[in-house]
Amino acid sequence: MANSKFQLGSFENPVKFKEQDYCSLKDASLKSGSLFCDPTFPAEQKSIGMPEDPKPENAVEWLRPKDICDNAVFVEGSIGTTDICQGQLGNCWLLAALSCLTMHPKLFGKVVPSPQSLTQDYGGIFHFRFWQYGEWVEVVVDDRLPVRGGRLLFSYSRSKNEFWSALVEKAYAKLMGFYSSLKGGNISEGMEDFTGGIAYSQPVSAFKPPVLWRQLTASLSRGSLLSCFIQAKTWRDIGTVTSEGLVKGHAYAITDTDKVQSDSTEVLLVRLRNPWGFVEYKGPWSDKCKDWAKVEKSEIERLELKKQEDGEFWIAVEAFSSLFDLVELCSVSPDTLHDSSSSSSSNSASSWSLSSYEGSWVPGCSAGGSRKYRRSFWTNPQYQLSLNTADVEGEEDEDVEDDDDEDEEDKVALSPSAEKQKAKGQKCTVLVELLQKDRRRKGTVKFIYIAFHIYKIPPELQDSVGCLDQKFFTSQKPVGRSGKYQAIRGVYRRVNLEPGNYVIVPSTYRPNKPGDFFLRIYAKTGNTLGHEEFTCSTGFLNLVMSNPPMPEDQIRVDDWFDQEDVSDDRLDAAAFMGLVNSVLEKDYHLPIETCRQLVLGEDTGGRARLDRAQALKLVTSLRKLQSTFIDHDEDSSGTMSPFELAEALKESGLKCDSEVVKVLWERFGSGDIHLPFHGFVSCVTRLRGLNELFESAGPELKQHGMNTWLLSLLAL
């Protein structure tokens, strides 16, 4: 049983994936004498996630390690980078990250708990731990592995009797949904899921070769995971092998750096590993290159140079700089990020605080798109960050990139106050990362384009209640951003900001793209992060329903009552529908159900019939709502989007948060992203009734506020 003193989701007390407890399942297996068979990830084609090959010779069978190899072991000797070879699955990104992990025993032990064995206390069950959006998750698997022609179909070890890497791959595939979910990806995903750290990309061209070598050396010494790749210009180039023996669009693990003397010249070297386990670099300082003849034998032995096709090789840093495009780095501690020295204090990590939040982009409600979509951008989720003077770093600012892919006049720029503060060199360092969640869980990878922007909140708005509105975002420029929108799992940026209050806005490039996300911010202890919500006004419907009647409204209502055969001078829902639709424009006529809702919302003494005064009030209000609806129907479609609904309600006297708008839309929009006029009227009518109930409620119900009241009752 997990120690209760540790929070659920911590490494010491991980979340149990599929609610499977490793210890109890293993005990049951050992007591019964039968090997564990995992019902949640069965040994069937559906777990692979790809159509079955109809050819009999390509049939897949699921075998346990001891059925594949007589002397099967979990680990053969010690863990090493050559334990991992890529099989028939395009997941080099994951295996390269796993290769990097083997260089750090403590980190490796977090993912692959020990002891685990294929001989002692063997029950056919294994467990592994992965970081997932702020929490550690423990995944249990049986050891039945997909085999074709007697060989493992996917990941395998160069030691044919070793199976730990294949089992880690299976556990990760189970976490993602299928083996096919692992096709294609960025190595930073694997790095972060193996460590819980922050990963980021760095262009190789940013540094001269000797400086780059020192950066790589320092990063490795601090325990960072490193990889690199050559960018493929087109999809056709992915997987092609260059004349130097390097693969385009393919992830390589950076496993070491070193230097040797060749005659009188010092050569700076970088060691790389191809997850394929073969296809190696053929240039200078490759395994079988004659350059090694000029190096002392003792140096060659120290470097453990292996002249065999195992996927691992050395390359001079000058060649590395000219042939590779990007380096991926992942560090567990914020103090080791962007730090060219290795002299960080051992207890410096304690000076950082982590704030995190899980949110969603909901089409029509909180998926407002990029800054290009000015009328809806403000509806994206907003998170406040406060930086105080105690957190000032006293360092130069990192310039905000002017690489915006939005309107030309919408370029990112530092505010005048930020420029002034930059000159003083007084800044607070903040690390922000935005991850989109669960985009692999259905067998395919569907990343959407994401980014985040950071805005400084002016002093005059810092005490205002509610989220910042459209006017703010159209008049202000961001002081920081993640860069261009990218279709990758995570975007990251280190920013240096002056003390003050800020708002962070995560967004998708286009509006109405649904998705869940995880936002985390590292800042010096004392900074705070909060999710700012709208506050509802308790008197909003009085503004909506108390418009003074126009003379023409009075005439139309009187004429209707006088000319129609109105019993006891009152209108039922059907008669009221005739009156309303004679006043409203044709495209905005109301159906009988909406009219019934309006009639029942009035105090009719239980008769469900309107007198002249009530009919006049409703006609006047409906004409006002029609004008508001038309004003906010930007494309003149006769319908309204949820973004437009929020603005229309605000103009009508209601300022409600995205959660209220979302519930309203689910109730009256039926999941569509086009709301007709009668749906808008139903929203207002429903809110009117809830407002009256709230006003008449006792203090014990009011203590939770109008917003909570609306959310609880709108769902009824």
Q: Residue 628: phi, psi to the nearest 5?
A: -65, -45
- The Cα 654–Cα 687 span in angstroms is 9
Q: How far is CA 418 from the centre of its chain?
A: 29
- The Cα 429–Cα 414 span in angstroms is 16
Is 467 considered catalytic here?
no
Residue 329 in tokens: 């780095």
Per annotation, catalytic residue among 92, 330, 428, 467: 92
Is 92 considered catalytic here?
yes
Q: Residue 269: phi, psi to the nearest 5?
A: -120, 150
Residues comprising the chain, all counted:
716
Nearest 5 degrees, angle CA 541-CA 546-CA 550? 140
- The Cα 676–Cα 137 span in angstroms is 45
Residues 273/311, Cβ–Cβ less than 8 Å: yes
Provide the 3-class DSSP secondary structure of residue 506. Answer: strand
- The Cα 662–Cα 439 span in angstroms is 22
- The Cα 478–Cα 476 span in angstroms is 7
DSSP codes joined into one string, 56-94: GGG--EEE-HHHH-TT-BS-SSS--GGG-B--SSS-HHH
Per annotation, catalytic residue among 250, 330, 428, 496: 250
% helix, strand, coil for the chain, step of 5: 35, 20, 40
DSSP codes joined into one string, 238-285: TTPBPTTS-BBT-EEEEEEEEEEEETTEEEEEEEEE-TTS-----STT
- The Cα 134–Cα 10 span in angstroms is 9
Q: Which of 225, 9, 217 is nearest to 107 (CA)?
A: 225
Per annotation, catalytic residue among 186, 274, 496, 527: 274
Residue 64 in tokens: 């346990």
Is 289 considered catalytic here?
no
Enumerate the active-site residues.
Answer: 92, 250, 274
